[in-house]
């Protein structure tokens, strides 16, 4: 999901844009701020053209989905092979990576620490991985554990539910808490077959689709489309 004013609980607002990013949106969240490990930015086998590296919203999703060679499920599986645990978020992105298209996957490891794993969006190769060493790492880990304890759905079922509601391609997902009532939800961003970007919110307890709406570009106003659920 994109970190724009019109979005309120979105994976793109909480997933790292770079290894040095330190933002959490909406109170607690599974996405964790990671300390910069000082290493070089990973280079993916997929490079976006210069004119596609700084697009916003739907145009960015369209360009990245077209260039991407592996699915979110494949990227997540690769990350979990590298770091056993539970995936809490993933995002297809190229921010601040000189056009390198990657999947950024966050895993709450079996070591009870949060890890970020960078996957090449072309080859599926693990390009980089590091552990959360922020000053608030212990608190973040406790919050993530609480979210995982409340989750009965999992990222696989959540993304499947989102794709049933909106056929297309998942470009991000994140386990988080709902700003309105504090419940645990999965936020899934789908680039639909209608060539529009959709935000789908899944109840992490029941697996029910709580809300879905189209991400309108800024010049199209703030009418978010229609709500819905799957049954």
Q: What is the pLDDT of residues 198-225, one digit of tens each?
A: 999 999 999 999 999 998 764 444 444 4
More confident of the two residues 180 and 10: 180
Q: Give the pLDDT confidence score for residue 225 in this predicted structure.
A: 41
pLDDT tier, 178 (very low <50, low <70, confident <90, very high otherwise): confident
Average pLDDT, the chain: 81
pLDDT recorded at residue 63: 95
Q: What's the pTM value of the predicted model, to 2 decimals? A: 0.78
Q: How many angstroms separate the CA atoms of 135 and 115, rounded?
A: 15
> What are the φ and ψ backbone dihedral angles of 199, each rounded to 5 degrees?
-100, 125
Q: How many angstroms from the chain centroid is the CA of residue 19?
A: 15
pLDDT beyond 80 at 53: yes
- Which of left, alpha, beta for 214 (phi over 0: left; psi -120 to 50: alpha)? beta
């Amino acid at each position: 999901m994109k970190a724009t004013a019109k979005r309120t609980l979105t994976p793109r607002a909480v997933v790292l844009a770079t290894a040095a990013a330190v933002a959490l949106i909406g109170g607690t969240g599974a996405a964790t701020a990671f300390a910069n490990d000082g290493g070089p930015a990973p280079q993916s086998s997929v490079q976006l053209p210069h004119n596609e590296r700084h697009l916003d919203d739907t145009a960015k999703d369209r360009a990245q989905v077209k260039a991407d060679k592996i699915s979110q499920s494949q990227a997540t599986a690769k990350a979990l092979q590298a770091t056993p645990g539970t995936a809490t978020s993933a995002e297809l992105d190229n921010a601040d990576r000189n056009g390198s298209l990657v999947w950024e996957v966050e895993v709450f490891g079996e070591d009870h620490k949060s890890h970020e794993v960078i996957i090449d969006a072309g080859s599926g190769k693990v390009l980089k991985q590091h552990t959360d060493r922020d000053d608030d790492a212990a608190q973040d880990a406790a919050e993530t554990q609480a979210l995982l304890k409340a989750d009965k759905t999992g990222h696989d079922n959540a993304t499947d539910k989102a794709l049933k509601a909106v056929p297309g391609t998942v470009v991000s997902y994140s386990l988080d808490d709902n700003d309105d009532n504090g419940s645990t939800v999965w936020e899934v961003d789908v680039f639909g077959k209608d060539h529009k970007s959709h935000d789908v919110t899944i109840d992490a307890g029941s697996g029910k689709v709580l809300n879905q709406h189209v991400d309108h570009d800024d010049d199209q106003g703030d009418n978010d489309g229609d709500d819905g659920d799957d049954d």
